[in-house]
């Protein structure tokens, strides 16, 4: 008897020893894991700081030479002797306006598609449409650029834009926004339209995902008290999901602001602010892409400064988005 | 296949590639001479076994590469001044020349149907001549029926040797252009749409009705674009072709051009084409790898002796014999 009880005691001790060992090794692996993830996270911060610092170092000569004037100067004259005159106003204008028009087109379309897919679409065609939209997101930007250059641009310039120009030619403000003076394949509007197509999948995909998080019971209750589809979408689905929708829209805006290759192909790369959206323009990223390789000295530094400005611009957009989301969440919580 | 086998195969591939490149001549720079450099290189490889690894990344980028000593020679369409050459310890010599033409897209207008003079071309690129039926163009082309279409000006968006040579010409013939725009690789264009590269300008003109652009002659012929004749400095109408390019090239005073610094814009002579470009090579006078440097020189030497026909086939103008002799004597300044 004693031997048995002693044995079981020994066994117990052995077991608890074992458990301690196992637990210890678990603690070790957990610490290692947490250390590795932390290192990865800090590495990103370090990388970000490194990029900002090298941008500032590269942009310093231009900052010193142009100062605040850089932001309000429209001229871009790298060839001037003895000192070039360079200003960021035209690319900033082009970046903001092209992104704004793109959002103006893509947001209603993207949300409309998402609502159709989640609320109205017959099951049989839901998958093919979603797949097609996801494929749009997978098309490389250079392909959009080529398609815009060879197909969309000539089509718009030859068939669509002349009739818009003719329709508004006598309406005061519109006739300068849609001025026919420079209608060509490459323009601010054509670039914006390509941008809209490029960011559409982002808006749609995120909206579809967040729309499907709406508890069916909420929608069913609304339908049950006699709401129309529009009322359900407007009063149940959108209020329930607005945080996610705004997030998706901001992500798309971030992409539109920084898009380079497709825009460089079709915006016309002209450092002029004309007020007409059918005129060629340029964006920050298009200016950098087309001029950086052949630039030197102050010109190159000014291009780096443009890059820094784009960085700041995108940061402001994302920060505003965060801020708006926070306020929305607070209001929703109250 | 096992993973380890794959890795081994990868290493083997990398090793064989680096062996193959080890004896190649490395260069980087201008895109304009790239077609002829690679054609010469193909032929040269057959006779010598030595290949050429040329990155056509643009004149400015080529100058940066040679300054960073990552390549044996740099190629630039813009002749460099003495100060730059001396600071970096470079030797500069011209390799080949070519013509720049204005190309237009107008219905029923074929190559050589229209003629422009420098002043009108400058006014178009200043935005002062806005339509095709403008008096300035109409007086030069009394027989052509010109549409009242707006002129859509196409120019380069990237810094470019072609732009440098084109704007140098326009500045030479128009005081107005010189004052408000000036000559440079990238200039502040008052009007127009920017396209990347010679190919981009050619594609844009092809796409856009009523447009005008400027490209190296080869791009106009290869794309079947309508070029314009030009009125040269002697007041004669000339067509862009090898003989008018050669006539312009022959007027270049290379003998007195120190470090071959010479821009062939608005050349005198009744048969001379007014818009020319010369592409140059930059090499170190004291190369860090003399073997690679002399291998490159051997390739250039071979190209001068045997490459003229190939250059002409691609619409380039080979350097005159007198200039080649001058270049060969300048090579004595490169340490072997």
| Token couple for A3 | 């031997």
Decide if A153 touches B, using CB distance below 8 A.
Answer: yes
B193/A268 touch (CB, cutoff 8 Å), yes or no: yes
Domains and CATH numbers, chain B: 4-97+277-333 (3.40.190.10), 100-256 (3.40.190.10)
Averaged over A277-286, what is the pLDDT? 92
- How, if at all, do strands B90-105 and B211-216 pair? antiparallel
Apex A238 CA angle, A232 and A243, nearest 5? 160
- The whole-number pLDDT of residue B5 equals 56
| Token couple for A199 | 């960011």
Per-residue pLDDT for B23 more than 50?
Answer: yes
- The whole-number pLDDT of residue A324 equals 76
Which tens digit of pLDDT belongs to each residue from B85-136?
A: 999 999 999 999 999 999 999 988 988 899 999 999 999 999 999 999 999 9
- The whole-number pLDDT of residue A333 equals 56
Burial string for B238-265 (b: 16+ CB within 10 Å, else e) reads: bbbebebbbbbbebbebeeeebbebbbb
DSSP element (H, E) containing A257? helix A238-258
Which tens digit of pLDDT belongs to each residue from B260-279?
A: 998 888 888 889 999 999 99
- The whole-number pLDDT of residue A3 equals 61
Q: How far is A256 from chain B (nearest CA, A)?
A: 21
Averaged over B174-184, what is the pLDDT? 91
Exposure on the CB side of residue A206, measured as CA atoms within 13 A = 17
For chain B, percent of residues with pLDDT exceeding 90: 54
Q: pTM for the complete prediction?
A: 0.81
Interface test with B, best of A149, A184, A274, A278 (most B CBs within 10 A): A184
- The whole-number pLDDT of residue B16 equals 47
Question: Which residues from A are below 8 Å from B150, CB to CB?
Answer: 181-182
- The whole-number pLDDT of residue B240 equals 94
Asked if A178 and A214 count as a contact pair (C-beta separation under 8 A), the reply is: no
CB atoms within 10 A of CB A229: 14
Q: Which residues pair with B27 in a beta bridge?
A: B54, B73
Interface test with A, best of B207, B211, B223 (most A CBs within 10 A): B207
**Closest B-chain CA to A269:** B194
B186/A294 touch (CB, cutoff 8 Å), yes or no: yes
- The whole-number pLDDT of residue B106 equals 92
B264: DSSP letter = -
For chain A, percent of residues with pLDDT exceeding 70: 97
| Token couple for A256 | 């539109």
Per-residue pLDDT for A13 more than 60?
Answer: yes
Mean pLDDT of chain B: 88
Which tens digit of pLDDT belongs to each residue from A298-322?
A: 999 999 999 999 999 998 888 887 8
* A12 against B131, higher pLDDT: B131
Which tens digit of pLDDT belongs to each residue from B214-237?
A: 998 988 888 889 999 999 999 999
Find the CB nearest B194 among A150, A157, A290. Answer: A290
**Closest A-chain CA to B76:** A294
Which tens digit of pLDDT belongs to each residue from A98-135?
A: 999 999 999 999 999 999 998 888 888 888 988 888 88
Rounded-to-5 percentages of helix, strand, coil across chain B: 45, 20, 35
ipTM of the complex: 0.76
Per-residue pLDDT for A334 more than 50?
Answer: no
- The whole-number pLDDT of residue A168 equals 85
Which tens digit of pLDDT belongs to each residue from B30-71?
A: 888 888 998 999 999 999 889 999 998 888 888 889 999 999
| Token couple for B241 | 């072709």
Provide the pLDDT confidence category of residue B166 given band limits of 50, 70 and 90.
Answer: very high
Provide the pLDDT confidence category of residue B15 given band limits of 50, 70 and 90.
Answer: very low
Which tens digit of pLDDT belongs to each residue from A166-185?
A: 888 888 888 888 887 777 88
Provide the pLDDT confidence category of residue B10 given band limits of 50, 70 and 90.
Answer: low
- The whole-number pLDDT of residue A2 equals 54
Per-residue pLDDT for A263 more than 60?
Answer: yes
Find the CB nearest B194 among A78, A268, A296. Answer: A268
Question: Which residues from A are below 8 Å from B223, CB to CB?
Answer: none
Provide the pLDDT confidence category of residue A331 given band limits of 50, 70 and 90.
Answer: low
* A65 against A2, higher pLDDT: A65
Decide if A73 touches B, using CB distance below 8 A.
Answer: no
Helix/strand/coil for B261 = coil
- The whole-number pLDDT of residue B159 equals 80
């Amino acid at each position: 008897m004693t031997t048995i009880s002693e044995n079981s005691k020994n066994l117990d001790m052995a077991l608890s020893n074992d458990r301690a060992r196992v637990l210890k090794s678990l603690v070790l692996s957990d610490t290692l894991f947490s250390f590795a993830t932390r290192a990865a996270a800090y590495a990103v911060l370090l990388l970000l700081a490194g990029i900002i610092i090298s941008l500032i170092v590269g942009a310093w000569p231009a900052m010193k030479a142009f100062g605040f004037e850089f932001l309000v100067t429209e001229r871009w004259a790298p060839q001037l002797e003895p000192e070039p005159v360079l200003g960021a106003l035209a690319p900033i204008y082009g970046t903001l306006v092209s992104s704004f028009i793109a959002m103006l087109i893509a947001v209603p379309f993207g949300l409309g598609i998402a609502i159709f897919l989640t609320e109205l679409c017959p099951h049989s065609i839901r998958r093919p449409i979603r797949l097609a939209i996801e494929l749009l997101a997978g098309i490389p930007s250079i392909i959009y650029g080529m398609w815009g250059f060879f197909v969309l641009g000539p089509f718009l310039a030859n068939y669509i834009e002349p009739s818009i120009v003719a329709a508004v030619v006598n309406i005061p403000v519109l006739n300068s926004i849609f001025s026919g003076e420079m209608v060509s394949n490459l323009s601010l509007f054509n670039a914006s339209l390509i941008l809209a197509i490029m960011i559409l999948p982002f808006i749609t995909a995120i909206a579809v995902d967040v729309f499907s998080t709406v508890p069916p019971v909420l929608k069913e209750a609304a339908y049950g008290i006699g709401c129309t589809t529009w009322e359900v979408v407007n009063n149940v689905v959108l209020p329930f999901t607005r945080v996610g929708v705004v997030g998706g829209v901001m992500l798309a805006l971030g992409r539109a602001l920084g898009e380079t290759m497709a825009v460089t192909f079709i915006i016309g790369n002209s450092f002029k602010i004309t007020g007409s959206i059918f005129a060629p323009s340029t964006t920050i990223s298009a200016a950098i892409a087309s001029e950086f390789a052949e630039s030197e000295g102050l010109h190159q530094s000014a291009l780096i400064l443009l890059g820094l400005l784009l960085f700041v611009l995108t940061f402001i957009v994302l920060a505003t988005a965060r801020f708006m989301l926070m306020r929305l969440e607070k209001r929703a919580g109250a | 296949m096992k993973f380890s086998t794959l890795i081994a195969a990868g290493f083997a591939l990398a090793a064989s590639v680096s062996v193959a490149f080890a004896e190649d001549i490395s260069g980087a720079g201008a895109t304009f001479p790239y077609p002829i450099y690679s054609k010469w290189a193909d032929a040269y490889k057959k006779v010598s076994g030595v290949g050429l690894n040329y990155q056509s990344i643009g004149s400015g980028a080529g100058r940066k590469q040679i300054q960073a000593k990552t390549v044996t020679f740099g190629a630039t369409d813009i002749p460099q001044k003495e100060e730059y050459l001396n600071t970096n310890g470079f030797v500069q010599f011209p390799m080949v020349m070519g013509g720049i033409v204005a190309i237009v897209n107008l219905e029923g207008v074929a190559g050589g149907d229209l003629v422009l003079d420098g002043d009108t071309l400058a006014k178009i690129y200043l935005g002062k001549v806005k339509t095709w039926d403008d008096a300035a163009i109409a007086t030069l082309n009394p027989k052509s029926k010109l549409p009242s279409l707006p002129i859509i000006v196409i120019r380069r968006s990237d810094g470019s040797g072609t732009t440098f040579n084109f704007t140098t010409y326009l500045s030479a013939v128009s005081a107005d252009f010189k004052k408000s725009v000036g000559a440079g690789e990238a200039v502040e264009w008052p009007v127009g749409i920017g396209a990347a590269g010679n190919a981009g300008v050619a594609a844009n003109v092809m796409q856009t009705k009523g447009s005008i652009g400027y490209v190296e002659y080869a791009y106009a012929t290869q794309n079947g674009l309508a070029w314009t004749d030009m009125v040269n400095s002697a007041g004669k109408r000339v067509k862009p072709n090898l003989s008018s390019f050669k006539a312009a090239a022959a007027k270049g005073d290379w003998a007195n051009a120190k470090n071959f610094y010479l821009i062939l814009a608005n050349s005198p002579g009744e048969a001379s084409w007014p818009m020319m470009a010369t592409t140059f090579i930059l090499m170190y006078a004291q190369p860090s790898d003399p073997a690679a440097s002399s291998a490159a020189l051997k390739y250039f030497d071979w190209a001068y002796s045997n490459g003229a026909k190939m250059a002409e086939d691609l619409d380039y103008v080979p350097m005159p014999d007198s200039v080649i002799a001058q270049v060969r004597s300048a090579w004595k300044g490169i340490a072997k």
